[in-house]
Structure formats: structure tokens, C-alpha cells
A and B are shown apart, each in its own frame.
Chain A
Amino acid sequence: DQQVKQNSPSLSVQEGRISILNCDYTNSMFDYFLWYKKYPAEGPTFLISISSIKDKNEDGRFTVFLNKSAKHLSLHIVPSQPGDSAVYFCAASSLLYNFNKFYFGSGTKLNVKP
């Protein structure tokens, strides 16, 4: 059951421009969302999270937007840098289930061209 979906397997942007990565979910019980970044042969690294009581959270160059009615979240990276090139995963969990598991999307591979 693919409850979290990332429909774009890859994205290529120019250095300095905005990168927008998208994620959709199907379970309306999800109330905690996260973005992770993963380099090859390493574990995922936490980037930013958002609770369902908010619709935006910002941390430096990274901003996550949450649209609960559309069950959609996005990660904006501005400005994009070559070091941002990695695979990005969105994840979701629920307080209702006491955060017993986190569901991950299949990832979007971001390539930032110098």
C-alpha cells in the first residue's frame, strides 16, 4: 500500500534556481511529515519536518509547504546548489498510531547543474 507517493523520479535544475520536489499522500490520518536527503551508500539524513497544524515551515534555504486538503506537500530549495544533488524522500507518520511507523515515498533524484 503506497500511502506516500513521489511521482517524479528525477529533477534537474540549474545552480541558483529553485528546486521544487513534490509528494502526495493518501492517508488523512497522517499529521507529521518529513523530508530526508540521501547520498549514495549513506543513510537518509533529516532535512525538515512539518506538523499538520502548520502549512509552511522554513529552515534556511529549505521550505516545506503542506496542503492538507489536497494531501500534498512540497519541498522548495532556494537557491539550489550542486551539493544539493541527492535523492530526496518524503515521509509521513501519525500521532493517532503513536508514530509507530513512518511511510516513505520512492524518492526524487535531484541533479543541480553548475
Chain B
Amino acid sequence: DTGVSQDPRHKITKRGQNVTFRCDPISEHNRLYWYRQTLGQGPEFLTYFQNEAQLEKSRLLSDRFSAERPKGSFSTLEIQRTEQGDSAMYLCASSWVAGGTTGELFFGEGSRLTVL
């Protein structure tokens, strides 16, 4: 397995447009997380999936944001009607959680969004 992959790496869009990011986690991992990182800050939690179930969403995730993980494999993060404040690096990570233990988060390279 080559690790967590994200696509696209860069996206420039105009305000009001919709964008979608894709994440392919490490195949044997059952957890998938989405984080957002802005300049000078650490990654901020957005949402996570246990297999195909979305179990928690941050209040940072407004109604314009939606995430899916069909069949517990890849995940998509869609932002509708983008705003300039959505400009950030969107990071996907996966991990294995079972029996009260967890491994570390493995991050992808990130998808950088610029909203003009």
C-alpha cells in the first residue's frame, strides 16, 4: 500500500463554486478523518468515519460541507458555494482503531484550496 492519497493536490476556484476532494485511505484502516489546516495553525478536526459511518462532525463543518465514505473505502469532502474563508489545506488521515487501542494517524499530502 502506498499510503493515504488525496486528489486533487491543488484547487483554485471562484467564490460560489462547488469543489470536491477525494481521499483514498490505507486499505486496512477502519478510521478516516478529515482535517483542515490554515497558515500558522495546526490541523483542525472536521469529521471522521468508522468504516462507512460518519460518527462525528465538528461545528466547523457548516451546512455547505458534506463528507461521505461509501462502502467504507474512499471518502469525498464536498464544499458547496465556496467562500474565501474556505481557503485552506484539507488533510485526510486514516488509522486502525480496535479493542480500545489505536495506531497513529497517517496523513495524505493534502488538498490545497484557494477561493478567489
Contacts and interface: CB of A to CB of B under 8 A. Distances in A.
B107 A44 contact: yes
Given A99-B102, A100-B56, A43 B107 contact: yes
Interface string A37-57: 000011111100100000000
Give the interface size class of chain B. 20 to 34
Given A43-B107, A43-B110, A99-B102, A104 B44 contact: yes
B83 interface: no
Contact of A107 (B42, B44, B91, B106): B42
Interface of A: 4, 6, 9, 32, 34, 36, 41-46, 49, 89, 91, 93, 95, 98-107
28 contacts: A6-B42, A9-B40, A34-B104, A41-B110, A41-B112, A42-B109, A42-B110, A43-B4, A43-B93, A43-B107, A44-B43, A44-B107, A46-B105, A89-B42, A91-B105, A95-B102, A99-B31, A100-B48, A100-B55, A101-B58, A102-B33, A102-B45, A102-B105, A103-B45, A105-B42, A106-B41, A107-B40, A107-B41
